A and B are shown apart, each in its own frame.
Chain A
Amino acid sequence: MSESTTPAGLLIDRVSKDLAGRTIVDDMQLEVRAGELTCLLGPSGCGKTTTLRMVGGFLQPDAGAILIDGVDVSRLAPEKRPTAMVFQNYALWPHMSVFKNVSFGLRLRRLPRREIRDRVEQVLELVGLTHHMNSFPAQISGGEQQRVALARALVLEPKVLLLDEPLSNLDAKLRVRVREDIREIQQRVGITTVFVTHDQDEALSISDRIAVMSGGRVEQYADPTTLYREPATHFVASFVGAMNFYTGTVADGAVEIAGGVRVPCEGARRNGGAPVEIGVRPEDVMVSTAGDGAEAHVLREIPRGHYKELVMQLGEAEVRAFVGPEVSTSERQRVRFARAVVYAEGVLRPSTEPAPLR
């Protein structure tokens, strides 16, 4: 999919894995460039954590290979791999202080005491926890524990950093802050990173590229903007962000959905008249009180703070629109689509895709 010229930081090469008789990862192919942060995004059971655990060496692939810097590491035990993992529950050792936790790997390598101390201090400074050096995991907050786990992984200077839903145990506000911290630290260190999450918001805001997984396969691997604007499959379109879906046909400058409702749509080009699936993002639904739009009835109005969500009846279908909080609405509205994506058999149709509105 990508045509990078730099050697791949990490290559997951046609890897498969069965667990308890079920195929969890199915002939998966993924390449993470050096210094890139890639998110594995998908619902639970899609194989994202299994993939991560295979990269870390906690599971052996049944088929395929895992290459780091072009070297096959598939058969290496976790302790021999140049990877470091941040676990979902942090997995801090409760019987060791923060210093002991972070220095564990360095002490195993029998480095000189001074060097251990220096490196631990450096990495704790990076995550902003020097003052908790002698605390025990139970004495610090969840966010701090999370950063200790990150420091423990970084201190070994791994080639690949693996994060397994690292933010899922934090509250919403902290989650946003810590994910920005993680992104900033990752950029500063320049480390190749694989980040597993089921939270699309998280994935969109910190990744260089996102691999959306379903049924053990990568559905789409793209940068956040492309992923959001041009979801390659119906699954990606419905999993990432909100989307109105209709079955209908595309004419020039309009789409026709069930019940014969004709909605004007900028840049729409005729696709031969065969029924297709039409996806419209709520922010691409233009609402006005007059004009040539299709007629819709407002069913509900949901205030969302900095915007407003309108739920409207459009013929036999429902349409959701995000509009500015200042937009005044009446019971009857005219609806136009600024942009729509079209799928046939669940796959994006580039040839019939309407040109985006500028």
Chain B
Amino acid sequence: MSVVEQAAVLPAARPRPRPTARSVALRSLGVVFVLALLVFMVGPILWLALRAFSNVWPYPRFLPSDWTMKWWHSVFADKSLGHSIKLSFEFAPVVTVASAVICLPAAYAFSRFNFPGRRFLLVSLFATNAFPKIGLYISMAGVFYTFNLMGTFLGVVIVQLIGTVVFMTWIPTAAFSSIPRSLEEAARDAGAGPLRVFFRITFPLAAPGIFVAMILSFLASFDEAQGTFLVGIPNYITMPTEMYTLVLNYPEQAAAVFSILLAIPSVILMSLARKHVMGGRLAEGFQIR
């Protein structure tokens, strides 16, 4: 035991420790690293979550001195907050499906056909990511006024949609590319036409990648605040847009409650997709081939 502590506290005190002591030191360093990471990654979230249940929390205490549920009641009682929650849940699925319908055929084409300009188009999709969103929204306003999209449902959908195009194209492109062509050819051989091959073979096999892209798209739409604010106001105030107002105008505890509510769908959806996201489906999408 004492060896462990010594090595952990004084890793530099002994310049050339014996192999055993060194491995112990490395191990302890690992534990310290994990603890630091734990505080860095999870600390802020826990700290905020506690706040949602605190009545009195004097500094410098690690925990509130008085607990309460009243902030939850006040948030649920607020009609406009409820409305924004409902709106968010309307926009996100619409945006996700629209994005999938628009981008998935393109992803398939990018993966299966080597047409002229393929690389260029993949790269230009990426370039859209590099232009700052606010600058984009400002000049988009001109286009939106022309098409009468300001303050409309469709306008908000479009603003949220353009934030999803890049990964809705890239990640499924990689997913399609990872399916050997012979699997499709075998189905053709067995008598399936091109469309049937796509729906019976290609689509089910690419599903994890498409699923990851759709969840990311859903969350991007769910999180989008700035564009929604600029285009949607005053008719469409979604949860994250409301969050800005809350943070600035309400007591901290109410904002904490709202944060937890806003985080719930993300946590659920990401947990569903976790296996595929960690399995490299996301990472694959970011290499242009």
| Inter-chain CB contacts under 8 Å: number | 60
Q: Please tell me if the beta carbons of A93 and B185 are within 8 angstroms of each other in the complex.
A: no
Q: Select which of B190, B201, B204, B205 is within 8 A of A152 by beta carbon.
A: B190
What is the chain B residue whose CB lies nearest that of A108? B191
Residues of A within 8 A of B205 (CB): 93-95
Determine the chain B residues whose CB is within 8 A of the CB of A58 once the complex forms: 185, 188
Give the docked Cα–Cα distance between A93 and B183 (Å).
6
Bits for B174-205, please: 1 = Cβ < 8 Å to A, else 0.
00000010110111111111001000110011
Q: How far is the CB of A67 from chain B (nearest CB, A)?
A: 19
Say yes or no for A39: interface residue by CB 8 A criterion: no
Q: In the bound complex, what is the Cα–Cα distance between A85 and B187 (angstroms)?
A: 10
Given A91-B182, A93-B183, A93-B186, also A79-B192 (CB < 8 A):
yes
Are B180 and A108 neighbours in the complex by a CB distance under 8 Å?
A: no
Provide the bound-state CA to CA distance between A319 and B186, in Å: 48
A56 to B188, CA, bound (A): 10
Residues of chain B with a CB closer than 8 A to A109's CB = 191
Task: Give complex CA distance A109, B196 in Å.
Answer: 12
A140 touches B (CB below 8 Å): no
B201: chain A residues at CB < 8 Å are 93
Among B182, B192, B196, B200, contact of A89 (Cβ-Cβ < 8 Å): B182
Give complex CA distance A79, B190 in Å: 6
Is A108 in contact with B190, judged by CB distance below 8 angstroms? Answer: yes
What residues of chain B lie closer than 8 Å to A87, measured between beta carbons? 182, 185-186
Chain A residue numbers with a CB within 8 Å of B200 are: 104
A156 cross-chain contacts in B, Cβ below 8 A: 190-191
- With a cutoff of 8 Å between Cβ atoms, the chain A residues found around residue B182 in the complex are 87-89, 91
B188 touches A77 (CB 8 A): yes
Q: Find out whether the CB atom of A105 lies under 8 angstroms from the CB atom of B191.
A: yes
A interface SS class = loop
State whether A78 touches B185 (Cβ < 8 A): yes
Q: How far, in angstroms, from A108 to B201 measured CA to CA in the complex?
A: 13
Tally of chain B residues near chain A (CB < 8 A): 17
A207→B190 CA distance, assembly (Å)? 25
User: How would you classify the secondary structure of chain B's contact residues: helix, strand, loop or mixed?
Assistant: helix
Bound: A89/B183 CA distance, A: 9
Residue of B nearest to A164 (CB): B182
Asked if B180 and A105 make an inter-chain contact with CB atoms under 8 angstroms apart, the answer reads no
Alpha-carbon separation in the docked complex, A83 to B196 (Å): 19
Task: Tell me which residues across on chain A come within 8 A of B191, comparing CB atoms.
Answer: 79, 105, 108-109, 156
A84 is an interface residue with CB less than 8 A from chain B: yes
* Complexed CA–CA distance, A78 and B181 (Å): 14
Q: Is the CB of B180 within 8 A of A91?
A: yes
A288-324 interface (Cβ within 8 A of B) = none
Report yes or no: A79 in contact with B180, Cβ–Cβ below 8 A. Answer: no
Q: Hey, which chain B residues are within 8 Å of A94, CB to CB?
A: 205
Contact A104:B189 (CB < 8 A) given known A91-B180, A94-B205: no
Q: Could you say which of B183, B189, B196 contacts A78, with CB atoms under 8 Å apart?
A: B189
Measured in the bound complex, the distance between the Cα atoms of B245 and A137 in whole Å is 55
Residues of chain A with a CB closer than 8 A to B193's CB: 77, 79
User: How far is B186's CA from A173's CA once the two chains are assembled, in angstroms?
Assistant: 27
Tell me if A85 and B180 are in contact (CB < 8 A).
Answer: no
Contacts of B192 in A (CB 8 A): 79, 104-105, 108
Among the listed A56, A57, A84, A89, which residue makes an inter-chain contact with B180, where contact means beta carbons less than 8 Å apart?
A89
State in angstroms the CA–CA spacing of A105 and B187 once bound together: 8
- A108 surroundings in chain B (CB, below 8 A): 190-192, 196
Chain B residues with Cβ below 8 Å from A93 are 183, 186-187, 201, 205
A94 to B193, CA, bound (A): 20
Closest residue on chain A to residue B207 by CB atoms: A95
Q: Which residue of A lies closest to B182 (CB)?
A: A91
CA of A83 to CA of B190, assembled, Å = 9
Could you tell me if A152 and B186 are in contact, using CB atoms closer than 8 angstroms? yes
Q: 1/0 per position for A25-69, CB-CB distance to B under 8 A?
A: 000000000000000000000000000000011100000000000
Chain B residue at minimum C-beta to C-beta distance from A53: B185
A120 to B: closest C-beta gap in Å: 13
Which residues of chain A in 69-98 are interfacial with respect to chain B, using CB atoms and an 8 Å cutoff? 77-79, 83-85, 87-89, 91-95
8 A Cβ contacts from B56-90 to A = none
Given contacts A105-B191, A108-B192, contact A85 B183 (CB under 8 A): no
Closest to A78 in B: B188
Q: Contact between A79 and B189 (Cβ–Cβ < 8 Å)?
A: yes
For the complex, give the distance between the alpha carbons of A171 and B180 in Å.
Answer: 22
Q: Point out which of A58, A79, A84, A152 has the most chain B C-beta atoms below 10 A from its C-beta.
A: A79
* A77 and B190 alpha carbons, distance in the complex (Å): 11
Measured in the bound complex, the distance between the Cα atoms of B187 and A58 in whole Å is 12
Distance in Å: Cβ of A162 to nearest Cβ of chain B: 9
Residues of A within 8 A of B188 (CB): 57-58, 77-79
Q: Which residue of A lies closest to B190 (CB)?
A: A105
**B204 near A85: Cβ-Cβ < 8 Å:** no
Residue-wise, chain B 195-235 has the 8 Å CB interface mask toward A (1 for contact) of 01000110011000000000000000000000000000000
- Starting from the known contacts A78-B188, A93-B205, 12 additional A-B residue pairs (CB-CB under 8 Å) come to A79-B192, A84-B189, A88-B182, A89-B182, A91-B182, A91-B183, A93-B201, A95-B204, A104-B200, A108-B196, A152-B186, A152-B190
Q: List 25 A-B contacts (CB under 8 A).
A: A56-B185, A57-B189, A58-B185, A78-B185, A78-B188, A78-B189, A79-B188, A83-B189, A84-B190, A85-B186, A87-B182, A87-B185, A92-B186, A93-B183, A93-B186, A93-B201, A93-B205, A94-B205, A95-B204, A104-B187, A104-B190, A105-B191, A108-B191, A108-B192, A156-B191
Closest A-B pairs by Cβ, 4 of them? A105-B190, A91-B182, A91-B186, A78-B188
